Structure 1
């Protein structure tokens, strides 16, 4: 794909480094981006709705760098690629992220990592690669039956099936579930899909699942059912937007789709917390 948008030397602050001081003190970073997508409709209509708003991309990068910590610049690069590829429009991203003032005794201009990610280069996009919080905590996961709530096209369901889980993927979007079922069949993975509107049918079988994952979906009245549906020793992994994201970037547009500070801890207070992170 020849069409691309370019963002050159976007400067921001983030938390990345082997030393703890680097992960607690913001340091200057920069990234260069090439975003590969079909620009033909944008060119013919001269309408922003038919392309990618580079200001939105920049805000996502700055927010991710401020809210998360990384030991390696390579991990930061991967995370930024995941964020950029979350939507269906951008097919490939090439980026160069770097520390502008690395803690070295010798003089260098910068140190960083260059990566290319996306479906056009033989690497799945974020729609097909599992959420980093899930991947990074896979050592905590019990074996058995897993439920992916609001699964979409199943990036997390596919990952869990590849880890040996028998996966149930629930969503209200028929097209997404059909796409997931086709991928699972091609890969010979044990994934069962269910078309369900959880807002209309907020129930889950009791003591059925060893693992329940929910990403970027919030339905507060469903959480008691999630807890009751866990088998003894079962685990919930839950990640969604914080209210800070709405207040800073107006995304999601509705406040009720965001968690308040420490709200997730309160909602799951009857469970033991094994890992928790909240954006700053």
Structure 2
């Protein structure tokens, strides 16, 4: 299977999305804050039925162009502001990688709740988000960063398949701490 991301000059799929695909069977998936579609393309090539949303119409247009050129029938790009917290379908897998830190802090709880409500029983949420901690003060001026333990608390009652708050590096080289969660909704 050819890697569409490299063909179109996109970054590879996020490593946590790749790892999640080792566990999660193809299903209806939502890529929240998809940008130009690196994760959405990866998921669609692995058999997922993907809705990819982003607030940036230019990014969605670029992804739609790839979908059209490749004749991809399992990927639907849509302009959508995740801050609205009005997901309109049910999904087996919702991925939100390095997206939450770009939204208004006052909307994060509503967005997380909306994700949880629109995940089917037994479905998964994947979140990767920047943190601001004493050990790793966030060097970026994000509108939102997580506090230690905040993300795991938001998923109380879900099975935490994976959870850590490890240091990492953003694709442009900034070093900071990230909360990474892969959680399974109770059946």
State TM-score, norm by structure 1: 0.51
Q: Secondary structure at the match of 2:159?
A: coil
Specify the structure having the higher radius of gyration (Cα). 1
The list of structure 1 runs, each at least 4 consecutive aligned residues, that deviate by more than 3 angstroms after superposition, is: 122-125, 244-249
**Structure 2 unmatched ranges of 5 or more:** 101-107, 168-187
Partner of 2:128: 239
Question: More helix per residue: 1 or 2?
Answer: 1
Residues 221-230 or 237-246, more deviating:
237-246
Q: Secondary structure at the match of 1:139?
A: coil
**Structure 1 unmatched ranges of 5 or more:** 1-118
The 5 A counterparts of 1:238-277 are 238-244=127-133, 248-251=137-140, 253-254=141-142, 256-277=143-164
Whether 2:104 is the aligned partner of 1:217: answer: no
Residues 210-219 or 159-168, more deviating:
210-219
Shift of 1:151: 0.8
Distance in 1 between residues matched to 2:71 and 2:160, nearest whole Å: 34
Check 1:264–1:172 CA distance in 2 against 1; reply closer, same or farther (3 A cut). Answer: same
Q: Whose RCO is larger (CA < 8 A, sep 6+)?
A: 2
Distance in 1 between residues matched to 2:54 and 2:42, nearest whole Å: 17
Check 1:158–1:246 CA distance in 2 against 1; reply closer, same or farther (3 A cut). Answer: farther
